[in-house]
Amino acid sequence: MDRWKGRDALLLFRSYLTEKGILSQMAEAEMEARAQGEIDDAVRFAESAPYPEIPEASRPIYVEDIRHG
Amino acid sequence: MAEITLIEGVRQAMDEELARDDRVFIVGEDVGKRGGVFRATMGLIDKYGPQRVIDSPLAELSIVGIGIGAALYGMRPICEIQFADFIHPAFNQIVNEAAKMCYRSAGAWTVPLVIRAPYGGGIGGGLYHSQSVEAFFAHVPGLKVVIPSNPYDAKGLLKSAVRDPNPVLFFEPKKGYRLIKGEVPEGEELLVPIGPARVSRPGRDLSVFAYGMMHQYALQAAEAVAAEGIDVEVVDLRTLLPVDRQTLAASVHKTGKAPIVHEDNRTAGYGAEIADHSGRGGLHLPRGPGAAPDRSGCTSAPLQSPLAGLVHARRREDRRRHSRPGGVLRAFDATQTGPPGKLTPKVKSWLQASRLTPSPLSAARQASTWWGLAEWG
């Protein structure tokens, strides 16, 4: 398990980019913050959203069952 | 009008839909340069190019998965599974993804996908080139399951399937690909609606429900017994899901008895659903005075290889019940083991036995004939 952890492609690619000077610490921190922000926003939105009003009976199984309006 | 084979009906349907709608494309093994192992896609890559007739790797999961993804984003894929026996690796994609997408997204995401595959036996295919898989998929809400029995329906139903916004499984009886020929109009759009069954031969004495290759044999058998005064109604199911219960009910209501003929395994095969529904839903009707309605207790006769429909009565009750007129529902094995004509004598004797008489002795003989047939395969 540890051997494979050491071969994690994401981590290897990250060290490759850092070594080659393509990825700076600042850029990486900024990307992570942006991604985390998106996730936090999405979680906030989902958790504060009301439960859907769709009654079970009207959930469409076939496309022709979709009731519009 | 032109007389074409069933496979040509399939090919023409795809040709016309590719021409009509840019979103339509075909993906599958050997569909492109080879033109399909059954020549279902012959000439299409030359007409429409490799972007629209795509040779896939040997990976059914991907063929269907790619189809689902493309359909979600507005394309109209036709996925070919080279033999229905190979659909199993794609089962999760079909059942968990394609079938449920509309329901789980409350209609926001839909999968207008066709998956077509040759199915059924009779060409020496063995274990992995002869399977009938319709029962697996007829069990899944969200799918449609369509099986044509002739070139006209093959063409018309496949065109409808391409235009249907739901995932449609289209199984083609491979034995009939070149064996079954029929008239198809030229120069006009041919669309057969998905859903309705078709009474292909009206009759009075009993109804035979069938689909695919077995529908052809049912018609032959009906002709054979007509000379002896037995008037058989034959119904071609065509769409297995959603099933046209109205047409089936009307037919059984008229005749009082309805065998179901298919070439799949009997136990839990598609015939079991029709037979059970018919019994449970009270479609079976007694004929004649003093007859008790059928209680559909059912025993499955031992599973034979090849595959069989469900037989729907108890042996003892059969003999007792048929001491007075009454109807009974049957589904039985009709696997082809030789040239088409071979089926007919067996079905013929069964059909003759089905004409119930009040005599206990002949009823017992009739019952044993039924069971004999149930064990035949």
**What pairs with residue B77 in β-bridges?**
B25
Q: Hey, are the CB atoms on A63 and B103 less than 8 Å from each other?
A: no
Q: What pLDDT, on a 0 to 100 scale, did the predictor assign at position B126? A: 86
Q: Hey, are the CB atoms on B103 and A54 less than 8 Å from each other?
A: no
Please report which confidence band the pLDDT of residue B345 belongs to, taking 50, 70 and 90 as the band edges. low
| Chain A CB within 8 Å of residue B166 CB | yes
| Chain B CB within 8 Å of residue A61 CB | yes
Contact list in A for residue B166 (CB cut-off 8 A) is: 62-64
Question: B259: which residues sit within 8 A by CB, 6+ positions away?
Answer: B206, B207, B208, B209, B309, B329, B330, B331, B332, B350, B354
Of the candidates B141, B165, B242, the beta carbon closest to that of A63 is on B165
Judge contact between B239 and B246, C-beta under 8 A.
no
By the 10 Å C-beta count (0-12 exposed, 13-18 middle, 19+ buried), A59 is classed as middle
What residue in B sits closest to A54 (Cα-Cα)? B106
Global ipTM: 0.70
Q: Is the dihedral of CA B91, B58, B127, B171 positive or negative?
A: positive
The verdict on whether omega for the bond into residue B345 sits within 30 degrees of 0, i.e. cis, is no
pLDDT tens for each residue of B38-62: 999 999 999 999 999 999 999 999 9
| Chain B CB within 8 Å of residue A56 CB | no
Give the residue numbers of B marked as catalytic.
129
Q: Hey, are the CB atoms on A62 and B107 less than 8 Å from each other?
A: no
Q: Which of A54, A59, A61, A66 is best to mutate for the B interface (most B CBs within 10 A)?
A: A61
| Chain A CB within 8 Å of residue B107 CB | yes
pLDDT tens for each residue of B103-117: 999 899 999 999 999
Please report which confidence band the pLDDT of residue B122 belongs to, taking 50, 70 and 90 as the band edges. confident
Question: A5: which residues sit within 8 A by CB, 6+ positions away?
Answer: none
| Chain B CB within 8 Å of residue A52 CB | yes
| Chain A CB within 8 Å of residue B109 CB | no
Please report which confidence band the pLDDT of residue B143 belongs to, taking 50, 70 and 90 as the band edges. very high
pLDDT tens for each residue of B176-210: 999 999 999 998 899 999 999 999 999 998 889 99
Q: Which two tokens stand for residue A28?
A: 């990486």
Which has the closest alpha carbon to B163: B14, B305, B287? Answer: B14
Work out the angle at residue B338's Cα, subtended by the Cα atoms of residues B334 and B344, and round it to the nearest 5 degrees. 50
Judge contact between B53 and B25, C-beta under 8 A.
yes
Q: Hey, are the CB atoms on B165 and A61 less than 8 Å from each other?
A: no
